[in-house]
Amino acid sequence: MVIVTGGAKGIGLAYCEALGRAGYRVAVADITDPGQVVALINDAGGEAMAVEVDVTDEAATYRMAEAVAERWGRIDGLVNNAGYFSAIEKTPFDQLDVDEWDLVFQVNVRGTWLCCRSVFPYMRDRGYGKIINTSSMTVATAVPHFLHYVASKSAIVGLTRALAREAGAYGIAVNTISPCYVPHDPAYTSRQDAAMGETIIRERCLQREMTQDDLVGTVLYLIGHGSDFVTGQNLYVNGGRAFT
> For 29, phi and psi rounded to 5 degrees?
-110, 130
Contact predicate 137/241, CB 8 Å? yes
Residue 181 annotated as catalytic: no
d(CA 52, CA 178): 25
- Judged on CB neighbours under 10 Å (0-12, 13-18, 19+), 195 is exposed
216-31-85-101 Cα dihedral, nearest 10 degrees:
-140
Indicate which residue of 24, 149, 188, 236 is catalytic. 149
Please list the active-site residues. Answer: 149
